[in-house]
Amino acid sequence: MTAQASFLTDAAAEPLRRVKVVLPLPMGNGYDYKVPLGMAAEPGDFVVVPLGPRMVRGVVWTGEADATVADEKLKPLAERIDARPLPADVMAFVDWVANYTLSPKGTVLRLVMRSGQVFEPIKGQTGFLQVIPPPADLRLTEKRQAVYDAAHPEIPQTASMLAKAAGVSDAVVRGLAKAGGLAAVDIDPDPPFAAPDPGRPGRELSDDQKAAADDLIERVKAGRYSSTLIDGVTGSGKTEVYLEAAAAALAASPTAQVCVLLPEIALTLPFLQRIEDRFGTPAAHWHSDLSSAERRRVWKRVADGNARLVVGARSALFLPYADLRLIVVDEEHEAAYKQHDGVLYQARDMAVARGALGGFPVVLVSATPSLETLANVEEGRYDIIQLTSRFGPAQMPETAIVDLRSHPPEKGEWLSPKVVDAINDTLSRQEQVLLYLNRRGYAPVTLCRKCGEKMTAPDSDTWLVEHKYTGRLVCHHTGFSMPRPDHCPHCGAFDSLVPCGPGVERIEEEARLKWPDRVVEVLSSDTMMRPGATKSLLERMTNGEIDILVATQAAAKGHNFPNLTLVAAVDADLGLAGGDLRAAERTFQTLSQVAGRAGRAEKPGRVMLQSYQPDSPVIRALEAQDRDGFASAELEGRASLGFPPYGRLAAIILSGENEAALNEAARQLAQVVPQAEGVEIWGPAPAPLYRLRGTYRLRFLVKTDRRVSIQNVVATWLSRTKLKSSVRMTVDVDPYIFT
């Protein structure tokens, strides 16, 4: 037998190997491919596969391939990407999130892979190092000397960087390199992060803080899953406590990684400085404001284990950690942890699942814990560590209700005389004031005083918010923006459009008129378009350069302004409108957090809540600072109705541009509603925002007992009918908003 014949016989004898590949696309849960001879392909490997006419990157997944597909129908893997495989616990997490949220695995994998952009080839750069000592025959002109002095013997710099530093052209830099004064090296496009120093001393802890930190450190050293709530009043030093746990996790192993989740970018920026102070080096940070190059660097360095300390928004949970040992969810109660498009997940709950799957501790942190977390503590699923007093000499602020029925503002104004007097008193002592109103812009509604027409976004039921300083009307739901017209589009009346109600810009205007010699600024998401601007404003407030800060909930948490002693909520009742399941809880949390900005240093603080409903349970609980009483009453009410955390909810949202087709789809679903014990399904009903960007929206709400798998109920129900392609269906397990 010839050598060639022997080879063919061996190849024929080798069985065909099939693998399942999950693609980062919103379709399917994996496709079968055959592995070419000589190619290694194991679960977690990144591969390139044919999908129709194109090539797509994906991941070889666990589980058996479909043996019913004929061999000849299978396409081969095109390439195995030379990259560290996706860890098994990350793959298990993708599976878990997909099952829990009823999402295709590919949609969840997309959160991990970032659509594969991280594997795109990157054009490298050439850097230059200072040669020491310089060659004996090197002739240094004045310009070359400037370049030589600007260079570093260990840190490479590009020609343009050196030219800028030396004040010369790139040609001078390259000439010096050619003459031997600089050494050319390749610059890593994704440079590694410096290792954090867990042994670096942190801030001095109080006895209560040290006891809390020691408790967490023991859990970290145990090296197994646990979920622990740090329940501490505002200003109690919760951050310093969990940073000690992070240090313990990093010290336990040279490969250990820690993830700290924060609800908003505005908190991430100042927090990074605290991380650098504690560990001697900046953390890798992950949020939506990063450039694609910055994202690629963080992703790769998390995957290879170099980025050991990551601070980020909710999506940081889905980075491909090589050796994750601890997750901290700061401000765990925040609604911002809920993702409202794509995969609809709650990052706090997913963090707990991630810790359980990976076998490591999870720490939840809040001064106003969510009712779900408090119920889990009550039932023994989570442990709790309490910090009941502020750090150092600081005391909790006094809270008073301003009854707007008895002490209304002057006509055309929004601040009660009692609040104005308190502001005058505070400013006379050279202390700072925070005026809180969680409403962006100048006015939430613009209407015509002639015909009563309310200005709305095109093809939507959403009101246009006036932004006075830009002269535009803006829809905060759709992003639509237009110049403020000088006549009513409905009746044509000239100069008839008037703003109704206050936004932060209107409160700022009132403050500037009342205190013209004082520095008044606004902090809202509209003023945080550039991270640099946000950082500058926060630094000025911290340094006492701002007298009155008018702010939305962007200032409600995580900030420490030492000279801020008065917080006034302009409309404490605002969050109670609408009948939302979580309205009372969210109002209590937000107002407690914003109140917690007052009196965080030596000077005592006070809080004033302007309200037209001063006898409501939420407002009274805030005045008494009775969080436990409020939470107990809310939990009792939820339990009696079977609502979360004592029941399960899922929303089914149908949307489409054809209203008749949408109604028909809703009718089809209503006809096959499952009838089962412990299951209730309500709807269909128009969504509160029924029309949005020309799309109509209907909702069903599913409620089940906790012992019932709501995922199975919804999946079985939805499988009973096939909707037209013109109707889009979204499933939201554990909905947080009902618009």
What tens digit of pLDDT does each residue of 645-667 get? 999 999 999 999 999 999 999 99
How far apart CA 276 and CA 197 sit, in angstroms, is 10
Taking only the tens place, the pLDDT of each residue in 400-428 is 999 999 999 998 899 999 999 999 999 99
The tokens for 62 are: 């666990």
Domains of the chain: total: 5
CA-angle at 305, arms to 304 and 311, nearest 5°: 120
523 with 375, same domain: the answer is: no
Alpha-carbon 70 to chain mean position: 45
Within a domain: residue 428? yes
Within a domain: residue 157? yes
Taking only the tens place, the pLDDT of each residue in 44-96 is 999 999 998 999 999 999 988 777 778 888 999 999 999 999 999 999 999 99
Within a domain: residue 338? yes
SS3 call for 248: helix
217 with 356, same domain: the answer is: yes
Looking at residue 392, its pLDDT comes to 65
Taking only the tens place, the pLDDT of each residue in 212-268 is 999 999 999 999 999 999 999 888 889 999 999 999 999 999 999 999 999 877 666
The tokens for 9 are: 């016989």
Kindly tell me if the per-residue pLDDT of 548 is higher than 90. Answer: yes
How far apart CA 106 and CA 55 sit, in angstroms, is 16
Is the omega angle on the peptide bond into residue 645 within 30 degrees of 0, that is, cis?
yes
Kindly tell me if the per-residue pLDDT of 507 is higher than 60. Answer: yes
324-349 in b/e form (b: 16+ CB < 10 A) is: bbbbbbbbbbbbbbbbeeebbbbbbb
Kindly tell me if the per-residue pLDDT of 481 is higher than 60. Answer: yes
Last residue of a domain, one of 94, 119, 144: 119
258 with 115, same domain: the answer is: no
Higher pLDDT, 5 or 41: 41
292 with 324, same domain: the answer is: yes
Q: Give me the amino acid identity at 603.
A: K
How far apart CA 232 and CA 212 sit, in angstroms, is 10
CA-angle at 559, arms to 556 and 565, nearest 5°: 80
**pLDDT band per the 50, 70, 90 thresholds, residue 527:** low
Q: Lowest mean pLDDT: which of 338-352, 534-548, 549-563?
A: 549-563
65 with 132, same domain: the answer is: no
Q: Give me the amino acid identity at 283.
A: A
45 with 136, same domain: the answer is: no
Last residue of a domain, one of 587, 609, 636: 636
Within a domain: residue 716? yes
% of the chain at pLDDT higher than 70: 94
212 with 154, same domain: the answer is: no
Looking at residue 578, its pLDDT comes to 60
CATH number of the domain that residue 661 is part of: 3.30.70.600
* Angle subtended by helix axes 88-101 and 105-113, to nearest 10: 130
The tokens for 17 are: 């190997």
Last residue of a domain, one of 636, 664, 689: 636
Kindly tell me if the per-residue pLDDT of 528 is higher than 80. Answer: no
pTM (two decimals)? 0.86
Q: Are 313 and 263 within 8 A, CB to CB? A: yes
What's the average model confidence in pLDDT over 530-538?
A: 73
CATH number of the domain that residue 624 is part of: 3.40.50.300
CA dihedral 282, 287, 293, 298 (to 10 degrees): 50
Kindly tell me if the per-residue pLDDT of 307 is higher than 80. Answer: yes
- Which strand (E) or helix (H) includes residue 363? strand 361-366
Within a domain: residue 674? yes
Looking at residue 704, its pLDDT comes to 95
**Phi first, then psi: what are they for 277, rounded to 5°?**
-65, -40
Looking at residue 560, its pLDDT comes to 79
Bridge partners of residue 338, in order along the sequence? 346
Within a domain: residue 63? yes
How far apart CA 559 and CA 561 sit, in angstroms, is 6
Q: Give me the amino acid identity at 313.
A: A
573 with 657, same domain: the answer is: no
What's the average model confidence in pLDDT over 677-688?
A: 90
Kindly tell me if the per-residue pLDDT of 366 is higher than 60. Answer: yes
Kindly tell me if the per-residue pLDDT of 6 is higher than 50. Answer: no
Looking at residue 9, its pLDDT comes to 45
Looking at residue 8, its pLDDT comes to 44
Bridge partners of residue 696, in order along the sequence? 656, 691
What are the strands, taking DSSP E only, across 62-205?
Answer: 79-80, 125-130, 182-187
Kindly tell me if the per-residue pLDDT of 576 is higher than 70. Answer: yes
Residue 679 half-sphere exposure toward CB, CA atoms < 13 A: 18
Q: Which domain holds residue 605?
A: 398-439+502-636
110 with 156, same domain: the answer is: no
Higher pLDDT, 187 or 468: 187
The mean pLDDT of the chain is 88
How far apart CA 626 and CA 113 sit, in angstroms, is 45
What's the average model confidence in pLDDT over 476-491?
A: 83
**pLDDT band per the 50, 70, 90 thresholds, residue 10:** very low
609 with 670, same domain: the answer is: no
Within a domain: residue 13? no
Looking at residue 598, its pLDDT comes to 81
Looking at residue 665, its pLDDT comes to 94
CATH number of the domain that residue 48 is part of: 3.40.1440.60
In angstroms, how far is the first alpha carbon of the chain from the final one? 75
Q: Are 506 and 446 within 8 A, CB to CB? A: no
292 with 172, same domain: the answer is: no
364 with 404, same domain: the answer is: no
Within a domain: residue 474? no
Looking at residue 511, its pLDDT comes to 95
Looking at residue 186, its pLDDT comes to 87
Q: Are 77 and 47 within 8 A, CB to CB? A: yes
